[in-house]
Homo-oligomer: A and B are copies of this chain.
Amino acid sequence: MINIGVIGCGYWGPNLVRNFSTISECSVRKLCDTDTGRLEAMAVQYPAIEMTTNFSDLIEDTGIDAVVIATPVRFHFEMALQSLMARKHTFVEKPMVRNVHEGRVLIDSAHKHGLTLMVGHTFIYSPAVRKVKEIIESDELGDIQYVAARRLNLGLFQKDINVAWDLAPHDISIIFFVLPDGPISINCQGKAHVNPDIEDITSMVLNYSNGRIATIQSSWLDPNKVRDMTFVGSKKMLVYDDLEPMEKIKIYDKHVEIPPHYDTFAEFHYSYHYGDMCAPYIKQYEPLKRECQHFIDCINSGEKSESCGLEGLKIVQVLEAASKSLKDGGGQVILESI
């Protein structure tokens, strides 16, 4: 039995508590939040769990085996480091930390103590994203030439991070999961309309060595909620729309047919192939439940998580580069290999 302590009972924390509570191999023992109102609300629903406003109380509890951190991003590094130094397996919400340096420190600490370090990139545990990965790996789409992701809605504005740090980690984690070869450079443009210092609209470009590009639009200023990704392959095209209740993935048998021998003297002739659209059946389950179970499984088996510290770090590296590009007016920022 793995005993769990959770820090942060705001927007997301209660979802983690609910899911860990349904897993028989673990037990949520302690919840921590500085807001006593939140703790009281949790106590009604979970009378058997101990509540505390003191993080040290949780970190020093030798009965706790694993710590789950669902606080604002600016607390992630320090809390995760304390947790690891207290020899506890550690789950951190996304984005893992504020910069590459902090990420490296956490990974080293987890490695040194032989602990599981996992980041809450929930989407890679969703059945739809697993299906997209499976389809791309089967080569049904051909070479992926272009990826376009959009994640838009009105609010919720964050206080300590811009919209790219808030929303783009989902898209980046999905792109890295389904297309493991990483980008070589990043461009990012954006605009702060509401708060002069915090961009509420950003447009990021991931450039790959093979000419592929991925664009990621993030916005806190759109009247409609949008969560979609288009993958343009050399054979077919795929759209993954996370808001579709049933047909989240649509594969379009459409592509441009390029003549095999390109004759520069003649006029070029492209033809368009239009064909069937197919929406594969996707088994439904709650990604967060799968993610929580995976954390417990990794602790028990000692195996690396699919969203381990290193995966979390790669995403932070892109975000850090995007921030740099934003400041430079959209210029290209090269990624060093990690």
Question: Which residues of A line the B interface, CB within 8 A?
Answer: 21-24, 41, 44-45, 47-48, 145-146, 148, 154-157, 159, 187, 189, 191, 193-195, 201, 203, 205, 211, 213, 215, 221-225, 230, 232, 237, 239, 243, 245-247, 250, 252-254, 256, 258, 267-268, 270, 272, 274-281, 329-330, 332
Contact = CB atoms under 8 A, between A and B. Distances in A.
18 contacts: A21-B45, A24-B44, A47-B48, A146-B191, A146-B221, A154-B254, A159-B267, A191-B211, A194-B270, A195-B270, A221-B232, A223-B239, A243-B245, A253-B281, A276-B279, A276-B281, A278-B279, A279-B279
Nearest to A278: B278
Contacts of A211: 191, 193
A223 B215 contact: no
Given A155-B272, A243-B245, A48 B48 contact: yes
A247 to B, nearest CB: 6
Given A155-B256, A187-B330, A223-B277, 4 more contacts: A222-B232, A223-B232, A277-B281, A329-B332
Identical chains bound together, number: 4
B330 A157 contact: no
Nearest to A195: B268
Given A276-B278, A278-B279, A224 B205 contact: no
B193 A146 contact: yes
Given A230-B222, A239-B223, A193 B145 contact: yes
B44 A21 contact: yes
Nearest to A332: B329
Contacts of A24: 44
Contacts of A189: 187, 205
B245 A225 contact: yes
Contacts of A41: 22
A221 B236 CA distance: 11
Contacts of A155: 256, 270, 272
A21 B194 CA distance: 40
Given A44-B21, A215-B203, A157 B239 contact: no
Nearest to A201: B146
Contact of A203 (B22, B203, B224, B332): B203
A258 B157 CA distance: 12
B246 A225 contact: yes
A207 to B, nearest CB: 9
A22 to B, nearest CB: 5
Nearest to A22: B45
Contacts of A205: 189
B21 A223 contact: no
Contacts of A225: 245-246
